[in-house]
Copies of this chain bind each other. A is one copy, B any other.
């Protein structure tokens, strides 16, 4: 009785197997351990430079990597469990496409970041970068959540990871842009890519499954697990691939204060914009995170805690206003059905972060950064470009990212519209039972207690 057009029996296994086998083969051909991971290379280096084990990049970055990893799998995964009957798919497809994307990103980023005699060298930094790229895919997933099959999502990931790597290459390598926390490369890119995809996949009759596109009490609590892990570990996210030492330290601290300020403005705006002053869980779950997004570019710069707090404060306000007033307009006028409101959490705050980054970069000077200028703006320190040039480059990078994201989303949206990927029907969106064996209802509690007591007294009487 299942619908053959949405049945995953063959589509999903074949897609997973083929993708994974391709990945394995490409890893076999292309990937090698880097200096700090290889038994042979590490110890050669060791002797000549007397580099202590503690200076292995692992000890600088692995704790941050694990925090980022939690954000990707628990943070994004549980944030999306707010839907009442889509928790398995939210956390489960998040898991699947993340596990795929991090492998594919290793290859794509490795390819663009520079080969070593035809080989991609990997270590903890590449693992973080792969997780970052995955984060971008998961942001896009938020826009199409509930309306796409896992096969569509896997193909979206194939293309999006590739485009992400190209965009990142243009920004970080060709243009010399600074964007350690990815306001542009991760958030702006992922958001506008996803928004364009969901625009192309527009469903005029989505209101047929409208009653399922909402939360219940416990699903909102599950989502708060996701929110809090994203919030707590965002300082690690933004600082994970900055230079060692003070930049990592400073980035984590800037992000910490940006998020704190953002949380207060989110609560204020959520209560203020409700007619009865009641807080809306959607705002708390999402807008309180905008401060992390908005500190993604400038976090490593000498933004100061003061500057970070202003940025976070504004991000929270913008984000709640977006949920309240812009999302309905996007849906009704522009036909953009954005399930998780990624435009408010990643889109606008990402653009804000890019602008803040451009302004902060243009104000960089030897006076403020001292010798540390080298670590944050190597091109400015070396005299290759002025600080205001760097600011200009940052601004251009935002435009490039928006262009790449929108154009990429357009193409990929049309690809995903092909009927071969088994998209769900309008009536079965936001519904786990299409893809999962869903367990039956819980026996009522009182019934069970009665059962136990009856049985126990039976035993005693016997």
A230–B61 Cα distance when bound, in Å, is 20
Separation in Å of the A238 CB from the closest CB of chain B? 13
In the bound complex, CA of A229 to CA of B46 (Å):
34
**Is there a chain B Cβ closer than 8 Å to A52's Cβ?**
yes
With A and B bound together, what is the CA distance between A280 and B40 in angstroms?
43
CA distance A38 to B367 in the complex (A): 12
A162 within 8 A of B: no
Q: A278 contacts which of B39, B87, B369, B436 (Cβ < 8 Å)?
A: B436
Residues in B whose Cβ lies below 8 Å from that of A404 = none
Within 8 A of B (CB), among A37-90: 37-44, 46-47, 52-60, 62-63, 66-67, 69-70, 73-74, 77-78, 81, 84-85, 87-88
Residue of B nearest to A275 (CB): B9
Which 8 pairs show the lowest CB-CB distances between chains A and B?
Answer: A39-B372, A9-B277, A40-B370, A43-B371, A99-B263, A53-B245, A16-B268, A42-B246
When chains A and B are docked, how far (Å) is the Cα of A267 from the Cα of B24? 17
- Total copies of the chain: 3
Q: How far is the CA of A248 from the CA of B434 in the complex (A)?
A: 42
7 contacts between A and B (CB under 8 A): A7-B276, A38-B246, A39-B369, A54-B60, A56-B246, A62-B252, A127-B256
Which of A172-180, A328-336, A351-359, A448-456 has 4 or more CB atoms under 8 Å from chain B? A448-456
A62 to B235, CA, bound (A): 10
CA distance A217 to B457 in the complex (A): 24
Q: Tell me the A220-235 residues at the B interface (CB within 8 Å).
A: 220-222, 224-225, 228-229, 231-233, 235
Alpha-carbon separation in the docked complex, A198 to B446 (Å) = 30
Report whether B124 and A252 are in contact in the complex, using a CB–CB cutoff of 8 Å: yes
- In the assembled complex, which residues on chain B have CB atoms less than 8 Å from the CB atom of A44? 370-371
Cβ contact within 8 Å between B277 and A12: yes
Q: Per a CB cutoff under 8 Å, which of B39, B67, B261, B446 touches A441? A: B446
Q: Chain A, 232-258, contact with B by CB distance < 8 Å: what is the 0/1 string?
A: 110110000000111111101100110
The answer to whether A33 touches B221 (Cβ under 8 A) is no
Mask for A427-438, Cβ within 8 A of B = 1, else 0? Answer: 110010111111
Cα-based distance from A439 to B445 in the complex (angstroms) = 9
Which residues of chain B come closer than 8 Å to A41, judged between CB atoms? 370
A109 within 8 A of B: no
> Would A3 and B431 be within 8 Å (CB), given that A16-B264, A91-B221, A100-B264 are in contact?
no
Shortest distance from the beta carbon of A35 to any chain B beta carbon, whole Å: 9
A399 at the binding interface (Cβ < 8 Å): no
Partner of A373, one of B39, B249, B263: B39
